[in-house]
Amino acid sequence: MKTEKRFVIAFAAVAAACCALCVLCSVLSLHHLRQNNNAAVTQLIANLRAHEPEITDTEIMQIINAEENTLDAEKMLRSFGISEDDWTVKSSRADSARVVAASSAVCLLCSVSCIGVFALYKRRQRKRLDKLICYLAAVNGGNYDLDLDSNSENADSRLQNEIYKTTVTLREAAQQSADSREQLKTALSDISHQLKTPLTSIIITTENLLDNPALPPDLRQEFLRDIYHSSSHISFLVQSLLTLSKLDADSITLKRKQEPLSEIFFEVTQNIAVSAELKDVSVTASDNSVTLPCDKKWLCEALSNIVKNCVEHTDNGGEIRLTAGTNPLYTTITVSDNGQGIAPEDLPHIFERFYRGKNADDDSVGIGLALSKAIIEKAGGTIRADSEPGKGSSFTIKFFNSKQ
């Protein structure tokens, strides 16, 4: 039972007990008054008979029960020789005084009891507040142990639990902020490292071209190709980082509509056609006439990065397959190859930004798969990688079907 309810019940019980005591005192006082009145009436009758033996019972009853003309009845009593000392007013006044005194005492007791109950309530409330202050100080001091033994449904326990949850939430937010700063620091370091090499190559190559205007045409073309390659590398890195930043900031809105996967697969194969041709890697697609509610542009971007990764890790003459399937629960897109595979120690990290496995190419920056994962999750899908070294890798993408 809640503390407030217990004090309300205690207060009501004290008030009820005091009221009952008042009623009892009133009943006893009235009973005593009635006895005194009866004794006075008996004495009155005895006095009447002693002074007036001839008076009848009827006349006595008329005198006692007279409701009107009270003054005449009083004169009649005086005419019979009954003095004020024998009158019942004195005893009635004494009884009335006792009733007033008893009622005053009961009221005083009731007031004192109510004040005592209220004081006890305030004292308990102050102790509970001090306990909560001590608890908050302990939580702020790093003690995040939740006292399960003191948990109940009363307001104090609920407030204590809310303090605990709020403090832990703030602590987690502070920890996340610190982690974010550390991740940003690491990301900036990685970006700086990734940009440093191609920029250095561009600067050195450009200096050679400027310092040697008489370079042979073949060597000049080779230097220009190096500059183009490094510039393309930087452009891809910058564009990927911008896209990841927009995804992190949730500033990209995907426009979903039903798209045939045959068109998406065709565009993906066109995007990586040159890279696949250079390595003599065949790319085949089987869409099974599946359609998917998606943003075509961004899904093509995600799949192109995955297929490009497969091309980089597939030996000359290898094969990459894009397949699709659907069931009442979800639509699946699978990208598989028969290449080198992914080392078991690298597999849990391949979707991390700037992570480069042991089999990564020299040109790899470790951002393509991270970008694909971010796009797919933004679209409400999931991606999983499975691999066996020497036998190839498989990337499985699932989009759960909506009811709409």
**Which residue's entry shows tokens 């000359």?**
316
Average pLDDT, the chain: 78
> Which are the contacts of 249, defined by CB distance < 8 A and separation ≥ 6?
none
Of 136-140, 167-171, 304-308, 379-383, give the lowest mean pLDDT range.
Answer: 136-140
Residue 246 parent element (H or E): helix 217-248
The confidence score (pLDDT) of residue 364 equals 64
Residue 396 forms beta bridges with which residues? 334, 384
The answer to whether 195 and 231 are in contact (CB under 8 A) is no
Of 9-13, 251-255, 358-362, give the lowest mean pLDDT range.
Answer: 358-362
Strand 291-294 vs strand 282-286: parallel, antiparallel, or unpaired? unpaired
**Residue 330: CA atoms inside 13 Å, Cβ hemisphere, count?**
12
| pTM, rounded to two decimals | 0.54
What's the CA gap between 401 and 63, in Å, rounded? Answer: 104
The confidence score (pLDDT) of residue 302 equals 92
pLDDT digits (tens, 9 = 90+) for 130-177: 877 777 777 677 666 655 455 556 666 777 777 777 777 877 887 877
Is residue 283 helix, strand or coil?
Answer: strand
Tell me whether residue 275 is exposed, middle or buried, using C-beta atoms within 10 angstroms of its C-beta: 0 to 12, 13 to 18, 19 or more. Answer: middle
Higher local confidence (pLDDT), 234 or 138: 234
The confidence score (pLDDT) of residue 168 equals 76
The confidence score (pLDDT) of residue 263 equals 92
The answer to whether 309 and 286 are in contact (CB under 8 A) is no
What percentage of the chain exceeds 70 in pLDDT? 75
For 392, list phi and psi in degrees, rounded to 5: 115, 180
